[in-house]
Amino acid sequence: MTGTMLSGAVSVDDRVLISPSGLSARVRSIHAQNRPTERGVAGQRCALNLVGDGITKDAIERGHVVLDPDLHAPTDRIDATFRLLATEQKTVIQWMPARLHHAATEVGARIVLLGDAIAPGGEALVQLVLDQPIAAAEGDRYVLRDTTAQRTIGGGKFLDLRAPARKRRTPERIAQLKAHEIGDAEKALAVLLETAPHYVNLTAFARDRALTEQQVQAIGDKLGVLKVAVGQNVFGLSATVWQRFEQGLLAALKDFHGKNPDLAGIGLEKLRLQLEPRLPAPAFLSVLQTFVRNKQIGLEGAWVRLAGHEVRLTIGDEKIWHRVMPLISGAERFRPPRVRDIATVLNLKEPDVRRLLKLLGRMGKADEVAHDHFFLRTTVAEMVDIIIDLGVTSTEGQFLAAQFRDRMDNGRKVAIQILEFFDRHSVTLRRGDLRRVNKHRLDLFRRTAETATADNSNSGRESSPVGRPDFKSGRGRESVLGGFDSLSLPPSKMKDLAR
């Protein structure tokens, strides 16, 4: 494979990847400037002898790029500037077809206007929707020709390789693109941090601009950026935005406790949607862990509360609870009596028992699996572990209600009620008689200490060894936890926040 080294370096025996095809290869030998060498650097014309599975003459096409495997993330939707040549006879209209030429790549494209129609000689922001993904970098130049590839229409510069398909014309989005137009990385980052949504994925920012880790670190230190690590991705916020977020978080919790003194806390997702900036769910959970370590807030499963807030039972309710708890724990925890039976056994009024157990449900100590049938939260967590084990050991990760019933050593009716409870909260997904585990909701009822910490996002590196890199920001990211509030979203991906 031959071409010009645009950035970075490559050495013999390096593991590389062909983009956008995704083929992996090893560099067997290198010729630079028509001479054998052990290393090729930016600016040289190089020929790489590549070996690997699927690496054939027919597998590599004109326009393919050799790069570091971590930098492979082709894009088929790009926001860019575009200047229409004055010699053109017609204006550019919405969804106009064209041929895009970028480096040695030629691909079909559609032009999505982000403003008014572009008259001959005019310049505007556009979104380019490509027929197939390409490898590119922010700031790269491109040319558009007509569909016959015989007449040049115009050209421009790539601004954002991660262009959204929705809300692409909003004032906030246009402000972001104006920031991306700034060539100087430090100035661009400073403007982006002060532009909605007021946070920046620093890992994607570095990769899209072909910046080294050292360059990004220096820029971040100079701007005083506060960093939130989420797996191998790092989000950045300005000191002003961080302070505003902290004040908003504590004020929201104080207001919630004032209006709901008998509740253990506010649901994670509801709280996240109330605050600005509205961080992605994994980053939000990571930030909350920082406040937990600073003893400013408490985080218990699905609930967030101020550190000093605690829901307490009255003396009378406490006495009743001490009598009720042995009946729904221990050996009978998987088959606890219903409210009426508890009231009969303890000679208590049925409404009093029901009120107490519902209060304990709001405190996060019990769950009403079926009408008037309450289980301890620790028992529900234990049942979640059972269905996880069933999912692992069963064929294709699916299990029957009978298998769950046998593991619980319980009756079919109660087992079905429990599984339907998990179905309602999407912990299990049912299809016919089979169920499978929804891994994205496993932490809903499990203990906080059991939450997962893994994140499979890709890390940023220096610029591509051969060719300009096209970088990954969306693929491989954590699934966004979403849903309702009262029992929503326990922490699942928590990492340290580093300053």
Give the three-class secondary structure for 30: strand
- Would you say residue 399 has pLDDT above 60? yes
pTM of the predicted protein model = 0.70
CA distance 185 to 430: 49
Of how many residues is the chain composed?
Answer: 499
- Contact predicate 331/320, CB 8 Å: no
DSSP secondary structure letter of residue 360: H
Residue 255 in any domain: the answer is: no
What's the rounded mean pLDDT across residues 360-366? 84
Same domain (yes/no): 54, 21: yes
What's the rounded mean pLDDT across residues 340-364? 91
Q: Which of 157, 239, 162 is nearest to 198 (CA)?
A: 239
- Would you say residue 101 has pLDDT above 70? yes
Residue 39 in any domain: the answer is: yes
Q: 427-436: per-residue pLDDT in tens?
A: 999 999 999 9
What's the rounded mean pLDDT across residues 206-219? 89
Give the three-class secondary structure for 125: strand
What's the rounded mean pLDDT across residues 99-118? 94
Same domain (yes/no): 80, 153: yes
Domain-terminating residue out of 118, 145, 160: 160
- Contact predicate 333/376, CB 8 Å: yes
The helix (H) or strand (E) run that includes residue 424 is: helix 412-424
Residue 293 one-letter amino acid: R
Same domain (yes/no): 143, 87: yes
Residue 349's pLDDT band (boundaries 50, 70, 90)?
A: very high
What's the rounded mean pLDDT across residues 6-33? 91
CA distance 224 to 203: 17
Q: 448-481: per-residue pLDDT in tens?
A: 444 433 333 333 333 333 333 333 333 333 333 3
Residue 144 in any domain: the answer is: yes
Burial class of 214 by CB neighbour count within 10 A (0 to 12, 13 to 18, 19+): exposed
User: For residue 33, is it left (φ>0), alpha (ψ between -120 and 50) or beta?
Assistant: left
Residue 44: CATH number of its domain: 2.40.30.10
- Contact predicate 66/465, CB 8 Å: yes
Domain-terminating residue out of 15, 38, 67: 67
Question: What is the DSSP annotation of 241-302?
Answer: HHHHHHHHHHHHHHHHHHH-TTSS-EEHHHHHHHSSS---HHHHHHHHHHHHHTTSEEEETT
What integer pLDDT is reported at residue 450 of this predicted model?
43
DSSP secondary structure letter of residue 118: B
Same domain (yes/no): 153, 99: yes
Burial class of 61 by CB neighbour count within 10 A (0 to 12, 13 to 18, 19+): exposed
Same domain (yes/no): 86, 144: yes
CA 283 to chain centroid, in Å, comes to 8
CA distance 499 to 464: 28
What's the rounded mean pLDDT across residues 11-32? 92
Same domain (yes/no): 55, 109: no
Residue 164 one-letter amino acid: P
Residue 492's pLDDT band (boundaries 50, 70, 90)?
A: very low
Residue 199 in any domain: the answer is: no
Same domain (yes/no): 108, 32: no
The CA dihedral of 434, 439, 440, 443, to the nearest 10 degrees, is 110
- β-pair type (141-145, 96-102): antiparallel
Number of CB atoms found within 10 A of residue 470's CB: 27
Residue 113 in any domain: the answer is: yes
- Would you say residue 73 has pLDDT above 60? yes
- Would you say residue 219 has pLDDT above 70? yes
Residue 489 in any domain: the answer is: no
Ranges 8-12, 407-411, 486-490: which has the least confidence: 486-490
Give the three-class secondary structure for 366: strand
Angle between helices 315-324 and 350-362 (to 10 degrees): 100
CA distance 473 to 233: 9
- Contact predicate 404/419, CB 8 Å: yes
Same domain (yes/no): 82, 149: yes
CA dist 345 → 313, 318, 338, 480 (Å): 22, 18, 11, 46
What integer pLDDT is reported at residue 447 of this predicted model?
55
Residue 499's pLDDT band (boundaries 50, 70, 90)?
A: very low
What integer pLDDT is reported at residue 13 of this predicted model?
92
Residue 468 in any domain: the answer is: no
Residue 25 in any domain: the answer is: yes
Number of CB atoms found within 10 A of residue 187's CB: 13
Tell me the pLDDT of the chain averaged across its residues.
Answer: 86
Domain-terminating residue out of 129, 160, 191: 160
- Contact predicate 159/179, CB 8 Å: no
- Split into its structural domains, the chain has a count of 2
Could you tell me which residues come within 8 angstroms of residue 270 by beta carbon, excluding any fewer than 6 positions away? Answer: 485, 488
What integer pLDDT is reported at residue 343 of this predicted model?
95
Question: What is the DSSP annotation of 369-417?
Answer: EETTEEEEHHHHHHHHHHHHHHHHHSGGGEEEHHHHHHHHT--HHHHHH
Same domain (yes/no): 63, 79: no
Question: What is the DSSP annotation of 43-80?
Answer: T-EEEEEEESTT--TTT--TT-EEE-GGGB--EEEEEE
Same domain (yes/no): 42, 88: no
Rg (CA), the chain: 29
CA distance 246 to 243: 5
- Would you say residue 493 has pLDDT above 70? no
What integer pLDDT is reported at residue 446 of this predicted model?
63
- Contact predicate 113/94, CB 8 Å: yes
Residue 242's pLDDT band (boundaries 50, 70, 90)?
A: very high
What integer pLDDT is reported at residue 68 of this predicted model?
85
CA 429 to chain centroid, in Å, comes to 22
Q: 135-184: per-residue pLDDT in tens?
A: 999 999 999 999 988 899 999 999 999 999 999 999 999 999 999 999 99
Ranges 36-45, 64-73, 211-220, 451-460: which has the least confidence: 451-460
Same domain (yes/no): 81, 145: yes
What integer pLDDT is reported at residue 338 of this predicted model?
95
- Would you say residue 119 has pLDDT above 90? yes
Residue 306's pLDDT band (boundaries 50, 70, 90)?
A: very high
- Would you say residue 67 has pLDDT above 80? yes
Range of the domain at 154: 75-160
